[in-house]
A and B are shown apart, each in its own frame.
Chain A
Amino acid sequence: MVRSVTSFGRSGLSDWLVQRVSAVIILAWFMCIGGTLMGGVDYTQWKTIFDGTSMRVFTLLAILSLAAHAWIGMWAVGTDYLTERLMGPRGNVLRLAYQIGCSLVIFVYVIWGIQILWG
C-alpha cells in the first residue's frame, strides 16, 4: 500500500471522511453568518453574538475544520500537479516548498482566528 507522510490523516479514507465532515461544518457556519448578515447588524449586535461562548466555540470549530479541509484539499491539488511525472525532479522540490507554504498559511489562519475570538 502506498503511504504518504504529508497527507492529513495518513490514509486516503480518513482524509476523505475528514474532508466531508469539515465541509459540512464550514457550510453550516457560513450559512449562520450569511443569515445574520442578511438580517443586518450594527456593531453592538454583532459584537454580542461573538461574545457568546457558543458562537466562539462554533467559530473556532469552523476555523479548525477549515484548517483540516484546506490541508487535505491543497494537498490533493499539489500532489496532482507538482509532481516528478509532470515536472521532473524539480516537482518534488516545488511540492515540498508549496506544502510548507500551505501549512504556514493554515497555521497563521488558526492563530489569527484564536486571536480574533479571544484576543
Chain B
Amino acid sequence: MVSIVKDKRPVNLDIGTMRLPITAWASITHRASGVFLFVGTAILMWMLDASLKSPESFAALQECLSGPVAKLVIWAVVSGLIYHSLAGIKHLIMDFGIGETMEGGVMGARIVFALSVVLILIAGAWIW
C-alpha cells in the first residue's frame, strides 16, 4: 500500500510540457556544469599532481598541454568553471534578496550568459 501511495504523489508542474524561459536554461546549465566539474576535477587534480611531482613531470605536462586535444579539454573544464562560478555568484546575490523578481531573474540570467561568453572566449584566447 505504502509504495502505491508514494507512486501517485502529485506532480504540480510537468516541465516536460513547456517552453523553458531563459532563467530555466540558466538553472539547468548551472546544474550540468556542476556535474561536469565534478568529473573535470579529476583532470585538474591530475594536472596539479604532475605539475608538482618533479621538474621532469612538470615539463612533460607542459608538453602534453601543448597538444590541440589537451587544449580543448582544458578549455572545456575552464569554461565549465567560468559558467558555474558566474551563475553561482548570481545565486549568492539573489540569496541576499537582490533581483528575485521575474524581471530580475531574466536580467541576471542574461548578464551571466553574456559575461560567460566573454570570459570563455578570453580563456580560449589565453589557452591558444
Seen from chain A, the residues whose Cβ lies within 8 Å of a Cβ on chain B are 20, 23-24, 27, 30, 38, 43, 46-47, 50, 66, 70, 73-74, 77, 84-85, 88-89, 102, 105, 109, 112-113, 116
Contact = CB atoms under 8 A, between A and B. Distances in A.
A13 B1 CA distance: 32
Contact of A89 (B3, B34, B45, B49): B3
Interface of B: 3, 6-7, 9, 11, 31, 34-35, 38, 41-42, 45, 48-49, 51-52, 55, 58-59, 81, 85, 88-89, 91-92, 95, 126
10 contacts: A30-B85, A43-B51, A43-B58, A74-B35, A74-B38, A88-B7, A102-B38, A105-B42, A109-B41, A109-B42
Nearest to B38: A70
A116 B42 CA distance: 13
Contacts of B34: 73, 77
Nearest to A80: B31
A38 B58 contact: no
Nearest to A41: B51
A43 B55 contact: yes
